[in-house]
Structure 1
Amino acid sequence: MQFDLGALRRHPDVEGPGLEASDAADRLILDEAATLIGDVGPGGLVVVDDAYGALALGAAAAGARGIRVHQDLITGERALAQNAERTGHAAEVRSLPLGVELLGGARLVLLRLPRSLDRLDEVVGLIAAHAAPDAVIVAGARIKHMTLAMNDVLGAWFERVDVSHARQKSRVLTARDPRDARQPPAPGWPRGERHDDLGVTVVAHGGVFAGAGVDIGTRLLLGELGGAVPDAASAVDLACGSGVAAAWLVGARPSMRVTATDRSAAAAASARATAEVNAVADRVQVTRADGLELLPDASEPLIVLNPPFHSDAALHTGIARHLFDDAGRVLAPGGELWCVWNSHLGYRPLLERLVGPTRQVARNPKFTVTASGRP
């Protein structure tokens, strides 16, 4: 009986109409790789950036054993674990960090193509460096999220790249024959950039929002944070990305300690590297977590946030709602959430409801900065 990908769930990630745990690209990747999956042998299959487990569990149902998996988001990792338990394949999958233990000796890698070319470059470079000499990558996505530049990234690391026929608005790229080094050479990962106007060096792995740059929304927020809860001894950089806000805060307030947290493994690693390069790692604690799940109620006087508004490839406000709700729970009485958001999203009523009284601090043609207080 064919494995039912439609039975998979996204939980604990955002769920709702139009938000599915698998799609046509997952099915096409599995079909294009079917013969290879049957031949790869125990421990030879690696799955990277499988959103909720469709690729890993589809391969397990096809007979693959000892599957190593890496998902950037901790919510995806947990969804895979729950889906694996429900489908009886928990013993066949093992989640690992992105690195040698994950990729060493791999003969077949199933990959959901990330929208970020930097993320693709970092992942494919690691595969080329650590997988077996006969390793094959079968990578796919919805065509609307693919570009010809993805072929170029794969071709920089692998001698041969083949393109599948389109099916159900999806396509697969298959890469073979790893090169010894990227062609042409390029800087490795992570990468750093100094921002003298902020007094901060930002370090980022591939795919982290804004990379080693500082986006204009975060710049607007940082320009206003000097007056945020001036007596706060600690703060939280929620959905921290590269950790630029955390590094800036402890640089501006030498007695402050900051918790930087993000559900992305790449973001958490970037935030740690940013804290290290700015010599503030002793005052910035970085965690990979789903929102503020590791922090107790009513414990923090200041939370800063530039909320994401994508759930995987879909635009969705559910992530922001989850983060606002968490902030309302964790803020101490009299504490404030300082948040920057795209003005067209109109988050102020939601902030009023989930956090508390909200005032506008700053606004430009694209972004709004608000401060929401817990009574």
Structure 2
Amino acid sequence: MTTPWGELELARFPEDPRDRLRAWDASDEFLLRHLAEREEQGAALSGTVVVAGDRWGALVTALARHRPVQITDSYLAQEATRANLARNGVETGTVRLLTTQDPPPDRVDVFLVRVPKSLALLENLLLRLAPAVHEGTVVVGTGMVKEIHTSTLQLFERVLGPTRTSLAQRKARLIFSTPDVSLPRPANPWPYTYALPDGIGAVSGRTVVNHAGVFCADRLDIGTRFFLQHLPESRAARRVVDLGCGNGVVGTAMALAHPEAEVLFVDESFQAVASAEATYKANDVPGHAEFRVGDGLAAVPAGSVDLVLNNPPFHSHQATTDTTAWRMFAGARRALRPGGELWVIGNRHLGYHVKLRRLFGNSQLVASDPKFVVLRAVKK
């Protein structure tokens, strides 16, 4: 990536030479050009610089000389940031890495926001950072035109103060907010809690807790509802993984139905794993559970798992890709014991049965409806 201060070598995480998606986009470049223009006009960045939503560390790597604070919900983004800082010779500790579950800084002098896909995550982020913002804080958001909506601007204005946007450049746009510390801010509605409907097995009527940014945070999505109606009934599985756990309702259902099983909840989202743990605890589930933020099953010993349950995403931010699903399936195959099973739910059109047959040599249709399929693959 070419920046006003030189070129950077950047990669996504985990690095894959076959991946043609870049670790930055035009909105990152637009923001950096704007900051360089401010410097030329004598308004260099100073004080505590906070960068929220930096997707692969491009922004904090470019701004490392300002010793910024990065706030992210993504384990993969945090690992990409570490790798990109090292790749460009930035010393460890130059950038302070925080998650969306960590307490934010007490004072923010420059607040840079890469607009996330989730409006709820943006709302939670702005509400948590607002008390640290003062009248002199420089607030600049950035995103692609298709990511910035009227609701996005209204949220900045409602939480921080008067807001305007730039003209678009290369399909990217900037957001400028002028902090109004006298603005009465709404209470933070996150995390959000609701009761599950009846007719979905062990979790019927149970409580779900969702932190901001978790998929379908205000209701049970139809895919998960279908999956819950077709979960494995065998009690032979002693070590179960809810892979890409989201709010943890699938793993919680297995734990309730099979209290003798150990359930590992894993997701790359800090918000998701916090949600899964809160959901599990809210239902007084018997048995043993572990909650882990990580890169899928990369940290799980090979041949140590009996059953993996998975509803893989098919987007990486705004990009549609099957890379994540493929890595999840491959990770599951490695982690499963011989005879262990991977159960997957997905949209019919995604063709996951083809990938499972390539990896496992088999794929069985467990259930289907006009939109979804539940598939089972067994490790030989």
Distance in 1, Cα, partners of 2:263 & 2:314? 24
Distance in 1, Cα, partners of 2:73 & 2:352? 27
Q: Render the CA deviation track for 1:62-91: whole Å, top value 9, x for unaligned.
A: x41x21112221111111111111212234
Gap regions ≥5 residues in structure 1: none
Asked whether the equivalents of residues 115 and 146 of structure 1 are also in contact (C-alpha less than 8 Å), the reply is no
Amino acid of the structure 1 residue aligned with 2:55: A
Distance in 1, Cα, partners of 2:236 & 2:182? 54
Q: Which residue among 366, 374, 379 is the counterpart of 1:374?
A: 379
Alignment CA distance shift 1:239-1:99 (3 Å): closer
Distance in 1, Cα, partners of 2:333 & 2:109? 47
Q: Which residue among 136, 140, 143 is the counterpart of 2:142?
A: 140
Q: Which residue among 8, 11, 14 is the counterpart of 2:13?
A: 11
Distance in 2, Cα, partners of 1:5 & 1:191? 43
Question: Map of 1:51-66 to 2, 5 A cutoff?
Answer: 51-60=55-64, 63-64=65-66, 66=67
Where 1:50 maps in the other structure, the secondary structure is coil
Where 1:372 maps in the other structure, the secondary structure is strand
Alignment CA distance shift 1:133-1:115 (3 Å): same
Question: Map of 1:101-180 to 2, 5 A cutoff?
Answer: 101-179=103-181
Aligned to 1:297: 302
Alignment CA distance shift 1:281-1:315 (3 Å): farther
Aligned to 2:52: 48
Asked whether the equivalents of residues 117 and 317 of structure 2 are also in contact (C-alpha less than 8 Å), the reply is no
Distance in 1, Cα, partners of 2:183 & 2:17? 41
Q: Render the CA deviation track for 1:324-367: whole Å, top value 9, x for unaligned.
A: 00000111111111110111011112111223421000111111
Asked whether the equivalents of residues 235 and 258 of structure 2 are also in contact (C-alpha less than 8 Å), the reply is no
Distance in 2, Cα, partners of 1:14 & 1:215? 32
Alignment CA distance shift 1:316-1:336 (3 Å): same
Asked whether the equivalents of residues 122 and 206 of structure 1 are also in contact (C-alpha less than 8 Å), the reply is yes
Does 2:93 align with 1:88?
A: no
Asked whether the equivalents of residues 272 and 281 of structure 1 are also in contact (C-alpha less than 8 Å), the reply is no
Q: Render the CA deviation track for 1:141-167: whole Å, top value 9, x for unaligned.
A: 110122111011111101211211111
Deviating more after overlay: 363-372 vs 128-137: 128-137
Amino acid of the structure 1 residue aligned with 2:61: L
Asked whether the equivalents of residues 104 and 128 of structure 2 are also in contact (C-alpha less than 8 Å), the reply is no
Give, in angstroms, the shift of residue 277 of structure 1. Answer: 1.3
Distance in 2, Cα, partners of 1:157 & 1:116? 16
| TM-score, normalised via structure 1 length | 0.92
Aligned to 1:223: 229
Distance in 2, Cα, partners of 1:4 & 1:353? 44
Number of residue-to-residue matches in the alignment: 369
Amino acid of the structure 2 residue aligned with 1:56: V
Q: Render the CA deviation track for 1:206-237: whole Å, top value 9, x for unaligned.
A: 1111114221111111101142x332123100
Q: CA RMSD in A?
A: 2.2
Asked whether the equivalents of residues 134 and 181 of structure 2 are also in contact (C-alpha less than 8 Å), the reply is no
Asked whether the equivalents of residues 200 and 244 of structure 1 are also in contact (C-alpha less than 8 Å), the reply is no
Give, in angstroms, the shift of residue 274 of structure 1. Answer: 1.1
Asked whether the equivalents of residues 46 and 102 of structure 1 are also in contact (C-alpha less than 8 Å), the reply is no
Identity across the alignment (%): 32
Amino acid of the structure 1 residue aligned with 2:148: M
Aligned to 1:202: 208
Q: Which residue among 225, 241, 246 is the counterpart of 1:241?
A: 246
Aligned to 2:201: none
Q: Render the CA deviation track for 1:74-115: whole Å, top value 9, x for unaligned.
A: 111111111111212234212112366433211111111012
Q: Render the CA deviation track for 1:246-273: whole Å, top value 9, x for unaligned.
A: 1111112222221000011111111111
Alignment CA distance shift 1:243-1:209 (3 Å): same
Gap regions ≥5 residues in structure 2: 199-203
Does 2:26 align with 1:24?
A: yes
Aligned to 1:280: 285
Deviating more after overlay: 96-105 vs 47-56: 96-105
Asked whether the equivalents of residues 14 and 319 of structure 1 are also in contact (C-alpha less than 8 Å), the reply is no
Aligned to 1:68: 69
Give, in angstroms, the shift of residue 199 of structure 1. Answer: 3.4
Alignment CA distance shift 1:6-1:15 (3 Å): farther
Distance in 1, Cα, partners of 2:170 & 2:355? 37
Aligned to 1:327: 332
Asked whether the equivalents of residues 358 and 372 of structure 1 are also in contact (C-alpha less than 8 Å), the reply is yes
| TM-score, normalised via structure 2 length | 0.91
Where 2:235 maps in the other structure, the secondary structure is coil
Distance in 2, Cα, partners of 1:100 & 1:333? 39
Where 1:273 maps in the other structure, the secondary structure is helix
Asked whether the equivalents of residues 356 and 377 of structure 2 are also in contact (C-alpha less than 8 Å), the reply is yes
Alignment CA distance shift 1:356-1:303 (3 Å): farther
Deviating more after overlay: 23-32 vs 333-342: 23-32
Where 1:96 maps in the other structure, the secondary structure is strand
Amino acid of the structure 2 residue aligned with 1:199: G
Give, in angstroms, the shift of residue 129 of structure 1. Answer: 2.3
Asked whether the equivalents of residues 55 and 110 of structure 1 are also in contact (C-alpha less than 8 Å), the reply is no
Where 2:153 maps in the other structure, the secondary structure is helix
Amino acid of the structure 1 residue aligned with 2:31: I
Give, in angstroms, the shift of residue 181 of structure 1. Answer: 6.5
Asked whether the equivalents of residues 164 and 177 of structure 2 are also in contact (C-alpha less than 8 Å), the reply is yes
Distance in 1, Cα, partners of 2:149 & 2:352? 32
